[in-house]
Amino acid sequence: MSRDPRVDDYIARAAPFAQPILDHLRDLVHRAGEVEEAIKWSMPMFLYGGKIIANMAAFKAHASFGTWKRESGSTADTPDGMGQLGKLTSLADLPEDAVIIGRVQRAMATVDAGGTVRHPTAPKPPPEVPADLRAALAAVPAAAAAFEGFPPSAQREYTDWVTEAKRAETRTRRVTQAVAWCTEGKRRYWNMPGR
């Protein structure tokens, strides 16, 4: 069993209510099988065969736990909180030990089988282009053609940017800027590295 001292530090820095929860979850994951620990995205992760199979985290008012590589398409058993167990505020919020151990073992079996369970997500529909942006684009055929040629995600970036404006002046300025960038064939975040 591979324990990472950074996880010890993470638990020690957690709020007092969260420490016993995290210690117990950690012990259950290790009881499930040979796993390694790591810190990724600033929280404890559990790896099996080099793949992340579970994680836990502590926040100001709750802790959370979840398995990756799950056997079902559900992303959570409860709607509140991160992970599958919802917001954990005490050991009493945890299911029976066998439930958590079973989830971890199923995640390990998925890794052993060489598979990855993808959680089915419905594709987002094309964005609803607001009338003012649609009219401004139509007035400049090159901008309209570029906008229509963008994938839905790039179109959504423009439409969200315009519709999130709180003031009419800001919205008008954004519509004008969007048309100018589209005329040049640029996506919304064209000037950001890695885009």
CA distances from 62 to 1, 41, 68, 87, 91 (A): 27, 18, 20, 5, 11
Least confident span in 1-10, 16-25, 119-128: 119-128
pLDDT at residue 59 in the model = 94
Q: Is the dihedral of CA 78, 79, 81, 83 positive or negative?
A: positive
Helices within the chain (DSSP H only): 5-13, 18-32, 97-112, 131-138, 141-149, 152-163, 168-183
Is pTM beyond 0.85? Reply is no
Instruction: State yes or no: pLDDT of 6 exceeds 70.
Output: yes
pLDDT, tens only, 46-81: 999 889 999 999 999 999 999 875 443 334 444 455
Q: Which tokens hold the place of 149?
A: 């040629």
Q: What is the CATH number of domain 5-112?
A: 3.90.1150.200
pLDDT, tens only, 83-103: 788 899 999 999 999 999 999
- Sorted by where each begins, the domain ranges of the chain are 5-112, 131-183
pLDDT, tens only, 116-173: 545 556 777 888 999 999 999 999 999 999 999 998 989 999 999 999 999 999 999 9
- Specify whether the CB–CB gap between 31 and 101 falls below 8 A: yes
